[in-house]
A and B are shown apart, each in its own frame.
Chain A
Amino acid sequence: MTRAGQIRDAAETGGAEPEVPRDGPAITAGGLVKCFGDVRAIDGVDLEVETGTILGLLGPNGAGKTTVVRVLTTLLKPDSGAATVAGFDVLSEGAALREQIGLAGQYAAVDENLTGLENLTMVGRLYGMTRSRAKMRAWELLARFDLADAAKRPARTYSGGMRRRLDLTAALVADPPMLFLDEPTTGLDPRSRIALWETIESLVADGTTVLLTTQYLDEADRLADRIAVIDHGKVIADGTPDELKDRVGGEKLEVRLSEPGDADRAIELLVSMTDEQPVFEDGSVKLTVRRRKGAIVEAVQRLNQAGIGIDDLGLRRPTLDDVFLALTGHAAEVEDAGQVEV
């Protein structure tokens, strides 16, 4: 369904004119603070997201990601600071703001006593659609998310991943210009994850803006135009994925040796290519090279001349894992897949 269609629909059922997004950034936030008792869940968060882009909010457990999402979707009132979404103020223009957004929270919020179809139809009607349009839209989304077969079963009988998908489709029902997805792929199987990624990408190609939080660095790397790393309630770094990777340093050279016994000699031969001490891990010598160009040839020549056998060798850019580790001082904590709550 088109956005214009939805707006026409809203005009039919509601009295007031539906609002359209205002010009300017899709999200602005300045100095957001929210405390729960002694816990400063977010502690001065600044954000700016351009329309039609994806911002990935990355951070360890308890960093404050969900709190940011809840403040921006008007579910929580910040203690101080200001924010707008689609140009509408979170504090004073909540009603108009909510016409612009779709939210899939961290834990699936579906009515277990209703069928998948009934759940989506209800949400569509609450966005102001007529019953028949809401139903049509529901079927369309159920088919896209592989839920058509289960459409007429109570959601109580759905698996965790199915509930999650149903919850995500509920956020998409009205095709809102601004989407908030809190850990959207947690608990999804690889196929559903990729399907969701593709859906998000095609929505963004049509102009939708997305804020998503994630624990999966590959997900942020693939989807996000910009990433904000958040820890202890503060944004500690932000930029494009490439900018963040550059910040943690150059390319890593990894040389797998045929004979682990050669490790010390290999390190001695390669040490002049780097500013740091090379390490030997998992059968490979690893070092951050000073210059990318010619690094592979150089390394091969040095080792060959010394008669050291090479099994495999590669140059890789730092991953967001490296970024995460360097910035927060600990690796991304991915929840045990078996304990995902929905």
Chain B
Amino acid sequence: MRKLFADTMVIAERNLIRLPRSPDLLIAFTVQPIMFVLLFAYVFGGAISTPGYSYIDFLIPGIIVQNIAFGGFVTAVGLNEDLSKGLIDRFRSLPMARPAVLAGRTSADIVTNLLSALVLLVTGLIIGFRFDAGPLDILAGMALLLFFGYAFSWVFALFGLVVSSPEAASSVGFIVVFPLTFISSAFVPVESMPDGLRWFAEINPFTFMVDAMRALWLGAPAGNSIWGAFVWTVAILAVFAPVSVSRYRRAAVN
């Protein structure tokens, strides 16, 4: 167990020291969320009615959840590159704790996700987003957000291990996760959707998560959203972490 923790930290460090050297990755983490916030706020802002909130207040929790769910693409692409370059073989031949390669990657994502979320939040604050909650609730929201992002990093880890190229890893992630984020309460009120979509949106983990963020940051009625989001996150982790690890144990470079 101690070895697992130590090795996880070594791998996490490995994945983080490259960041300042990769301008393209830094842009993905920072410029992209800024761009999304501005586009949504100013292009859709006037067209979507969000009773009780200004669109910018409504939007920020939604877009920050979407953004954090995609943070795991670094894991998918990185793992796939490691596989194709033979690094996974090197790791698998070392006396290290085997889950550490995945755990290190996903832990590094927590740091990049936090960075990205802060950039997004500051952008939101500049264009008019306001919290309506105490500091504890705000922090609890941030913690829940990072936990949710961490669970999705494990989903992406699996994508990275099963597909044949880094490009495929990120596009599979996109194809699977993108619709989920849109058929949720992230960008439009669920009530405005047709019946079928609405049914799906109401059980979608993204809806629970976004509603939980609105409850914690804007003081919206929580209902069962916070618990729902937490249970969903634990469930996603409980499924994808073991599946990814067992897939990793068997992974062989072709």
Contact = CB atoms under 8 A, between A and B. Distances in A.
B21 A128 contact: no
B198 interface: no
A75 B252 contact: yes
Contacts of B18: 111, 113-114
A128 B93 contact: no
Contact of A111 (B14, B92, B96, B252): B14
Interface residues of A, number: 33
A73 interface: yes
Most B CB contacts (10 A, CB to CB) among A70, A111, A170 go to A111
Given A13-B3, A75-B93, A113 B22 contact: yes
A70 B93 CA distance: 9
Contacts of B219: none
A154 interface: yes
B95 A127 contact: yes
B47 interface: no
A194 interface: no
B10 A13 contact: no
B252 A128 contact: no
Task: Decide if the interface of chain B is mainly helix, strand, loop or mixed.
Answer: helix
A327 interface: no
A98 B97 CA distance: 11
Interface in A8-28: 10, 13-16
Contacts, number: 76
Given A75-B92, A109-B87, A15 B22 contact: no
B93 A74 contact: yes
Interface string B77-97: 000000001110111111110
A98 B94 CA distance: 6
A6 B96 CA distance: 14
A75 B90 CA distance: 9
Contact of A74 (B6, B86, B92): B92
B124 to A, nearest CB: 31
A118 interface: yes
Contacts of B3: 13-16, 128
Interface string A253-283: 0000000000000000000000000000000
Most B CB contacts (10 A, CB to CB) among A74, A98, A109, A154 go to A109
B86 A114 contact: no
Given A75-B252, A114-B18, A123 B94 contact: yes
Contacts of B90: 103, 105, 109, 123, 170
Contacts of A109: 85-87, 89-90
Given A74-B92, A101-B93, A118 B17 contact: yes
A111 B89 contact: no
Contacts of A126: 7, 10, 91, 94-96
Contact of A99 (B21, B87, B92, B95): B95
B107 to A, nearest CB: 15
A111 B22 contact: no
Task: Decide if the interface of chain A is mainly helix, strand, loop or mixed.
Answer: loop
Given A122-B10, A126-B7, A128-B3, A114 B92 contact: no
Interface in A89-145: 95, 98-99, 101, 103, 105, 107-114, 118, 122-123, 125-128
A76 interface: yes
A232 B18 CA distance: 42
B160 to A, nearest CB: 16
Contacts of A105: 86, 89-90
Interface in A50-77: 70, 73-76
Nearest to B94: A126
A114 B15 CA distance: 9
B89 A154 contact: no
Contact of A113 (B21, B86, B252): B21
Contacts of A108: 86
Contacts of A75: 89, 92-93, 252
Interface string A1-45: 000000000100111100000000000000000000000000000
Contacts of B14: 111, 114, 118, 122
Interface in A222-260: none
A127 B21 CA distance: 26
A74 B10 CA distance: 22
A101 B2 CA distance: 22
B1 interface: yes
A75 B92 CA distance: 7
Interface of B: 1-3, 6-7, 10, 13-14, 17-18, 21-22, 85-87, 89-96, 252
Given A95-B95, A107-B86, A122-B13, 18 more contacts: A10-B95, A14-B2, A14-B3, A16-B3, A70-B252, A75-B89, A75-B92, A76-B252, A101-B93, A105-B86, A109-B85, A109-B86, A111-B87, A113-B18, A113-B22, A122-B14, A127-B94, A154-B21
10 contacts: A13-B2, A14-B2, A98-B93, A103-B93, A108-B86, A109-B86, A123-B94, A126-B10, A126-B96, A127-B96
Interface of A: 10, 13-16, 70, 73-76, 95, 98-99, 101, 103, 105, 107-114, 118, 122-123, 125-128, 154, 170
